[in-house]
Structure 1
Amino acid sequence: MPVREHLDGVLITVRVAVSGHRGLAGETAALVDRAIREALAEYLPGLRGLSCLADGADQIFARAVLDLGGALEVVIPAERYRDGLPGECRAAYDELLGRARRAHRLEFVESTAESHMAASERMLDDADVLVAVWDGQPARGHGGTADVVAEARRRGMSVRVIWPEGARRG
């Protein structure tokens, strides 16, 4: 965990990015939510969360950041990113995006593995820590959580893996 310092009485913000599995449902989503909240509580006050707001871990993380009083920043991978999300997750995407302090929009049009990885790299550029909701398995495609973890580690970033006992990947 990065050391937080006070500078002239002001807490320096800890910037935490997220990468994680999509399609988390039911009990796994609840387990991940509790684990994320527990992890993020260690960065309070002064938490700034960075997320792409994908379904699953990204949206769980974003909601936890906001519920804990942190500031949310969003990186939108592509103009048509929202269209590629499952229909049942779009209302949460819209709500969380509306509550974000800042949105960084990449210049991609299509929501592809390339745009997703570029967005993850953009998040890492601004982060101190990566929270990875990850089962430890290889990525199912370019830009998956394993690739983001590898990139964060290559950069020498702190990576905090969250995969609670009993969690199952969808």
Structure 2
Amino acid sequence: MRVGITGHRGLGADVGRSVREMIVTAVRAYDAAELVGVSCIADGPDAWFAEAVVEHGGRLEVVVPAVGYRDALPEWHHATFDALLGKASATHVTGMGESTPEAHMAGSEILVGLSDELLAVWDGEPARGFGGTADVVAYAERHGTPVRILWPEGATR
């Protein structure tokens, strides 16, 4: 089973804790021997999912949206990004150089194309910018990829 992840970054501490628990629970429900997690390994849900997949014994594949993607992520996340990238069994790239919303959406389209199912840490609201979680969910739905929403009841961002 190939499972991708998309989700909101910059969650508050309480919502982040709840989301992380939901991700771990979701990952543990898969057979580790059959699980391939696909992630762009950004800070927040992407990285939490990747860590949960690796800890559960699944394989990790990483999609890098742009050559400049890592540098566009928060500096405090670079060590985690590097560690997860080092654990990836495969890396997929868009061929784009600059880390832009267009590159992020292109990376998400590759991620959806590689996935049998998409986990979405999504509050159900429209995207705040092109390539946001709502856009990725809509893309997956248009392409027939099942989407499973992970969002704590009553939570806001």
Q: TM-score, normalised by structure 2?
A: 0.95
Of all paired residues, the percent bearing the same amino acid is: 53
User: Structure 2 matches for 1:95-110, cutoff 5 A?
Assistant: 95-110=83-98
Q: Following TM superposition, by how much is the alpha carbon of 1:34 offset from its aligned partner in structure 2, in angstroms?
A: 0.8
Deviations for 1:85-126, whole angstroms, at most 9, x for unmatched residues?
011111111111111111112211100010000000001111
**2-structure distance, mates of 1:127, 1:99:** 19
Structure 1 letter corresponding to 2:13: G
| Contact 1:19/1:133 (8 A) holds in 2 | yes
Q: Match of 1:76?
A: 64
Is 2:122 the counterpart of 1:124?
Answer: no
Which of the residues 16, 21, 25 maps onto 1:29?
16
Q: Rg: which structure is higher?
A: 1
Q: CA deviation at 1:40?
A: 1.6
More helix by share: 2
Q: CA RMSD in A?
A: 1.1
Taking the aligned partners of 2:64 and 2:30, their CA distance within structure 1 comes to 24
Change (3 A) 1:166 1:86: farther
After superposing on structure 2, the runs of 4+ consecutive aligned residues of structure 1 that deviate more than 6 Å are none
SS of the equivalent of 1:108 reads coil
List runs of 5+ in structure 1 lacking aligned partners.
Answer: 1-13
Say whether 1:150 aligns with 2:118: no
Tell me, yes or no, if structure 1 residue 39 matches structure 2 residue 19.
Answer: no
Higher percent of residues as strand? 1
TM-score (norm 1): 0.88
Give the number of equivalent residue pairs.
156
The separation in 2 between residues aligned to 1:63 and 1:57, in whole angstroms, is 10
Deviation for aligned residue 1:23: 1.2
- Out of 6, 15, 36, the position equivalent to 2:2 is 15
